Chain A
Amino acid sequence: MMVGVKSVPSPAISADDRSHEVDHPSSEIAQFGADQPLRLDCGIDLTPFQIAYKTYGELNADRSNAVLICHALTGDQHVANVHPVTGKSGWWETLVGPGRPLDPSRYFIICSNVIGGCMGSTGPASINPATGKVWGLDFPVITIPDMVRAQAMLIDRLGIDTLFAVVGGSMGGMQVLQWTAAYPKRVYSALAIACSTRHSAQNIAFHELGRQAVMADPDWHNGAYADQGIHPHRGLAVARMAAHITYLSDAALHRKFGRRMQDRELPTFSFDADFQVESYLRYQGSSFVERFDANSYLYLTRAMDYFDIAGDHGGVLAKAFAGIETRFCVVSFTSDWLFPTSESRALVHALNASSARVSFAEIETDRGHDAFLLDVPEFLDISRAFLQSAGKARGLTPRND
C-alpha cells in the first residue's frame, strides 16, 4: 500500500502579482541614477537602483518629527496599510497607527523596502538594466550596512537631516543599530527590539538550512528560475517553515496546538498533516511563497549572517558607539531564543561602556521572537513611554494631548 504523501500546496496567488510589485511597487519610489551609485560593502557600485517606500503622517516645519521604521527579514514597506499582494493588514499595526505609540498625527513615519528585497527596492528579483533580464544570482551580495546606506540616501532625498527615531525589530533592529553606529548624529533616538549586534552561529546555521532548502528545489535552477517562468516555492516554503519555528517558542506552540489533530480523530498512518501544528506550518510556508522571492530570501539571510558591528570596529563593540548622544531603548523578550536577552544585554553593556543614554527592558512573554509584532501591551507601553520622553526632550509638541 502506498503511504499518502502531500507536500506543501502550491501558492494561491499567481507569481504575476508578486513579480509586478518587484519593479512596479504600489508605493512611492526614489530612483537613483548613475550619478548616485550605492557603494556596496562587496566593493561594487550598484547603479541605477531604486528604493520603494511608504510614508504616514506629515513632516513638521522644522523637519524634526521623522521616524524611520526598519523592517525585518521578510517584512516590507507596508507597515500600516493593506498589503498589495496578500490583501492583509499592515505588519506593524500594533505599533503604528492612530492612537498607537507611533501615531501618524504626530510623526512623519517612513518605511522603505530594504535593498535586496522584493517589494520594489532593487534586489535579485529586479530587472538588471544591463541585460534586460532578472538579476538572479548576478545581483551583488548586500549587507546590513548597505541597506542602511541606501536608507540614508532616501532620507537625504526626503530632505531630512536628523531622524527623530529609528525603530525596528529583528533584522530591523540590526539596521537600527547600524544607523546609530554609522550615522550617530542623524539619529536622535533608537528603539532596537529583539535584535543583536551580530548574528550568532546558531542563527547562521538556521539561515544556512533555509538557503539549502531553497537551493535543493530543482525549480531553483541555480537562481535563474525567473528565466524559466517558474519559482522554487517548495524549497522556499520549507525554508519559511523552519524559520517560522525559530520565531515562536515551545510554550507558544504547545499552547496554540498541543498534540491536537487537524480535522480528524485518529492518526491516518501517513505523512499527511495529521497534527494541527503541521497544518499550520504548511500554511505558513505556502502563504509566504505567494509574496516573497526565493533569491531575495537568500540575499537577505546572507546580509544578516554577515552582520557584526564589533567586527567592523576592531572587535570592540563599545568603540562603535563611542561618544554617541543618541537615546537608546533596547527591548528583548523572555521566550525569544533566536535573539535571546543575553544578546541585548551585551549590547547594553557596550552602550553603558560608551556612556550612551540607554534604557533596557526585558518583556515577559511566551510568544517568542515574534512577540514584537504582536499585541504585547507591556512592550507597546514601553515603546510609547520611550518615544514620548524622547519627544519631550526633542521639543516635539504633542498635537492632540
Chain B
Amino acid sequence: MSVQEVLPLGGLATDKFGPFRADHLLVAEMVKSGSKVLDVGCGDGDLLQLLETRGIDGRGIELSREGVNRCVAKGLAVVQGDADTDLVNYPDDAFDYVILSQTLQATRQPKVVLENLLRIGRRAIVSFPNFGFWRMRLQLLVGGHMPRTENLPASWYDTANIHFCTIKDFIELCDAIGVKMERAEALDLYGRPLRLRLPWWVWNLFGEQGVFLLSRGQGK
C-alpha cells in the first residue's frame, strides 16, 4: 500500500505525494496553513518545500554546508547552524511551530533541544526513529549486534545518531519536562500510521518511527 492511500491529507493533490517522505506528509498535515514554521535539521529542504506548497512561511536550520547550499539554491530561507548550539539564539515565541524531523537522536543534548523547541515555537513537531521497534529489538536480542535498518543503515562506529530512544523513552522525557502531547502518531515500516487508541506498548513495538505534536504544558 502506498502513502497516498493511507494518509488523508487535505489540500494536497494526490500526484504530489510521490516524492515526499511519509513522516513529512504527516508533519505537513499537523501544521495549520498560514503559520510560521522553523524546520530544525531541514536537510535538503524537502519538508520546507512541501510546507511552502501549503502557504506556510518556512525557515530552516541545517548543519551540513551542502544541505544549506542546496536549500538556498531552491530559494528557501535556510541558515547554516547546529540544533545543539544555535537554538538558544532564537527569541521566545518566534514561530508557530518548530519542527525537528528525524534529528533529535543526532543531537548532543536532546532534552535541552526539546526545551528550546517549545520556547521558540508555541508548538513543536518531533519525529524520530523508534529504537523499540521489533526489528531493532530482534537484531539486538537474536543477532547480538547494534541494529541497522533500511532507514538507519550506518554502523555504530560511523552513525551520527548518538542518542537513540524508544517511543516510551520519549514520552517519559515529555512528562519529565512538562511537555503536553497534543497528538501522537506511530508509523510502521511502510510509513503507514498505526491505528489510533492502541496501547503505548504496541506502538513502541510496532512503530518504526514516532511523530509527535507537542505544546507547552501547564506551569512550564
> Which residues of A approach B to under 8 Å, CB–CB?
318, 327, 329-330, 345, 348-349, 352-353, 355, 357-364, 378, 381-382, 385-386, 388-390, 392-393
- A357 to chain B: closest residue by CB: B77
Which residues, 68 to 89 on B, are CB-close (under 8 Å) to A? 68-69, 71-81, 86, 89
Closest CB-CB distance, B198 to chain A, in whole Å? 40
Please tell me if B135 contacts chain A, counting CB pairs below 8 Å: no
The answer to whether B72 and A361 have CB atoms under 8 Å apart is yes
Q: Closest 9 CB pairs between A and B?
A: A389-B75, A360-B79, A385-B73, A349-B89, A359-B72, A357-B77, A353-B91, A361-B68, A382-B72
- Chain B window 96-118, contacts with chain A (Cβ cutoff 8 Å), 1 for yes, 0 for no: 00000000000000000000000
* A358 in complex: contacting residue of B36, B74, B75, B79, CB < 8 Å: B79
- A328 to chain B: closest residue by CB: B77
- Cα A110 to Cα B94 in complex, Å, equals 36
- Number of B residues with CB within 8 Å of any CB on chain A: 21
Pull 9 A–B residue pairs with CB atoms less than 8 Å apart, ordered by A.
A348-B79, A352-B59, A359-B76, A359-B77, A359-B78, A363-B65, A382-B73, A385-B75, A389-B74
Number of A-B contacts (CB under 8 A): 69
Given contacts A348-B81, A352-B90, A361-B80, 20 further A-B pairs with CB under 8 A are A330-B79, A345-B81, A349-B86, A353-B89, A353-B91, A357-B59, A357-B77, A359-B72, A359-B77, A360-B78, A360-B79, A360-B80, A361-B65, A362-B68, A363-B65, A364-B65, A381-B69, A389-B75, A389-B76, A390-B75
The answer to whether B71 and A359 have CB atoms under 8 Å apart is yes
- Chain B window 54-72, contacts with chain A (Cβ cutoff 8 Å), 1 for yes, 0 for no: 0000010000010011011
Given contacts A386-B72, A392-B75, contact A362 B65 (CB under 8 A): yes
The answer to whether A360 and B90 have CB atoms under 8 Å apart is no
Contacts of B91 in A (CB 8 A): 318, 352-353
- Cα A329 to Cα B80 in complex, Å, equals 11
- Cα A327 to Cα B86 in complex, Å, equals 21
The answer to whether A385 and B79 have CB atoms under 8 Å apart is no
